[in-house]
Amino acid sequence: MRKENIHQPMEVVYKKIDRCPTQYAQHTFFQMTYVISGAGTLSLNGHEVDYNEGNLMLLNPNDRHIFHISSTTEFLHIRFQSQYIKEYRWKNIAYLECLLYYSSHLMGCIMRSDSDGTQVRRIVESLLQSIEENDLFNEELMTHYVNALIVIAARNISKIKPEHIKVNTDQRIQELINYVQSNICYPEKLTATAMAGAFGISSTYLGSYFKKQCGETLQHFIAGYRLRLIELRLQFSDMRINEIAAEFGFTDESHLNKFFKKHNKISLTAYRRSLVSQS
């Protein structure tokens, strides 16, 4: 299996392929792949899905994948490191990063909006033009195009309901989930009282409503979501434990470690050490 790295925060690569690669690849970075033309199958972490012209797919760090080419395919690969997401001044940085990581359970094209699909195609055309012309300020232009693609991708991922949420649920449950994701670093905004006030309903009704719609308590959902983000920090960043504690609103390292050990039955240090031994 090929291990691939990039040595800059972000890069855009055009490829035209008419035969299948000989082995699986695994990246240390995010990759958005747009299918300019052609068709085939993407094998991702043991699952397969067809791809066609106009599809936008997202591969997460460490995803095991290979493209099986049915007809000559033109790809535009937009690659960026996790640090690229962290350093850019997004309005909702934690929310955006988490959406990208949580796309790992999705297969195939992530686009859910036809109008966004049109925008993506235009941005891809602009990126291809920038690659060909290589004019003054091209790097700045390409950065803006890539950032727009990331935001569009995150917006479409956010439209895909988690599997355990009922199909016929009303819009409020998605608004609740969006609220949790947007405020995951601010524990004071995620208390039952604070959330009930934000949505203009009683805390008792809020709790029973969420459990009925999602099959788990609201606090369990919040804890699980926060835990997943912390695991991702330990796995894909070099942040110190005290920095992670500060980011997610824990009083100190000890408080964070107690939370982590309660849910994972292992300390933060032991968890990070186990990741190193597996690599």
**Average confidence (pLDDT) per 10 residues, the chain, 279 residues:** 85 93 87 96 87 93 88 96 75 59 68 91 95 83 93 80 51 81 89 94 92 87 88 78 93 95 92 76
Q: Based on the fold, state whether residues 44 and 152 are members of the same structural domain.
A: yes
Q: Which of 130, 158, 186 is the last residue of a domain?
A: 158
The 10 Å Cβ neighbour count of residue 183 is 20
- DSSP letter at 137? T
Phi, psi of 58 (to 5 degrees): -125, 125
- Maximum alpha-carbon separation in the chain: 60
Task: Kindly state whether residue 166 falls inside one of the protein's structural domains.
Answer: no
- Please tell me the predicted confidence (pLDDT) of residue 232: 76
Q: Are residues 54 and 153 in the same domain?
A: yes
Taking alpha carbons only, the member of 222, 135, 141, 140 closest to residue 181 is 222
At 204, give phi and psi (nearest 5°).
Answer: -65, -45
In angstroms, the CA 218 to CA 204 distance is 11
151 lies in the same domain as 175: no
> Does any domain span residue 47?
yes
- Same domain? For 239 and 272 the reply is yes
Distance CA 85, CA 93 (A): 7
Backbone torsions φ then ψ of 152, nearest 5 degrees: -65, -40
Please answer whether residues 29 and 82 qualify as being in contact, where contact means their C-beta atoms are separated by less than 8 angstroms. Answer: yes
89 and 132 in a single domain? The answer is yes
Structural domain of 72: 2-158
CATH of the domain at 50: 2.60.120.10
pTM, two decimal places = 0.66
The CA distance from 252 to 17, in Å, is 51
CA atoms within 13 A on the CB side of 106: 24
How much is the pLDDT for 250?
96
Residues 176 and 67 in one domain: no
- Boundary of a domain, candidates 107, 123, 158: 158
Rg (CA), the chain: 20
Of 158, 184, 200, the one marking the end of a domain is 158
d(CA 15, CA 23): 17
Helices (H), the chain: 82-87, 93-102, 114-133, 138-158, 171-182, 192-199, 203-214, 218-236, 241-247, 253-264, 268-278
Tell me, yes or no, whether 186 and 154 share the same domain.
Answer: no
Report the candidate in 191, 195, 187, 181 with the shortest Cα–Cα distance to residue 94: 181
Q: Looking at the structure, tell me whether residues 100 and 222 fall in a common domain.
A: no
Domain check: are 153 and 176 in the same one? no
> What's the domain count of the chain?
2
Query: Cα dihedral sign for 236, 241, 246, 248?
Result: positive
Task: Give residue 168's pLDDT.
Answer: 42
Q: What single letter denotes the amino acid at residue 149?
A: L
143 lies in the same domain as 198: no
Do residues 42 and 78 share a domain?
yes
Cβ pair 170, 212 in contact under 8 A? no
Q: Are residues 137 and 199 in the same domain?
A: no
Cβ contacts of residue 62 below 8 Å, gap of 6+? 26, 27, 28
Question: Do the domain assignments include residue 14?
Answer: yes
For the chain, how many residues are written? 279
Identify whether 17 is part of a domain: yes
Q: What would the two tokens of residue 246 be?
A: 């500060």
Which amino acid, 12? V
Q: What is the CATH number of the domain that holds 271?
A: 1.10.10.60
In a domain, 165, yes or no: no
